[in-house]
Amino acid sequence: MKLSRLADYAIVAMTYVARDPDRIHAAPEIAAATKLPAPAAAKVLARLGRAGLLNSVRGTKGGYRLARPAQDISVGAIVNALDGAVAITQCIQSGRGGCEIAVACPSRSGLNRINVAVRNALEEVSLAEIALPPVLPAVSETARHAAYNVQP
């Protein structure tokens, strides 16, 4: 299972905006800071706006800001805005009519359980959680001295 490129870009863009939520971020700034292709960033930002995850601000100082606090936006909501509901198989995505073996399929209920678990996992992780800067592991004095070939 893999997110679409646009859903991946959306998570990156939303994470960038969430790290400074009080500021309005211009689309070119978001694209440059995150290394996203500008046309794709513009497309993603517009879709996130239509989904109610970002508010757009018009004018020369315009751009985007979060529509609500980062802790109230799930990763699942971001993915849904770009890819629609997560469906790990064709039959889950299109229903019983989408597969010619759905009536006799022995794995449908098991796959549906997995699909629900994936959806729930995406809903349980907030944008605030993924926007936190990475925590670097603590390095002991001995390890730091060894790494830089310095005597303690």
Quickly state the pLDDT bin for 92 (edges 50, 70, 90). low
Q: How many CB atoms lie within 10 A of CB 28?
A: 12
Q: Is the pLDDT of residue 114 over 80?
A: yes
Amino acid found at 80: N
Q: What is the pTM of this model?
A: 0.78
Q: How many CB atoms lie within 10 A of CB 108?
A: 17
Helix (H, G, I), strand (E, B) or coil at 55: strand
Backbone φ, ψ for residue 65 (5° rounding): -145, 160
5-131 CATH pick, 3.90.550.10, 1.10.10.10, 1.20.990.10, 3.30.310.50: 1.10.10.10
Gyration radius of the chain over CA positions: 21
Cβ partners under 8 Å of residue 47, min gap 6:
6, 10, 81, 82
Return the pLDDT at 149.
56
Q: How many CB atoms lie within 10 A of CB 8?
A: 17
Domain ranges of the chain: 5-131
Rounded alpha-carbon distances, angstroms, from residue 20 to 24, 30, 83, 124, 127: 9, 12, 26, 22, 12
Most confident of 70-74, 106-110, 144-148: 70-74
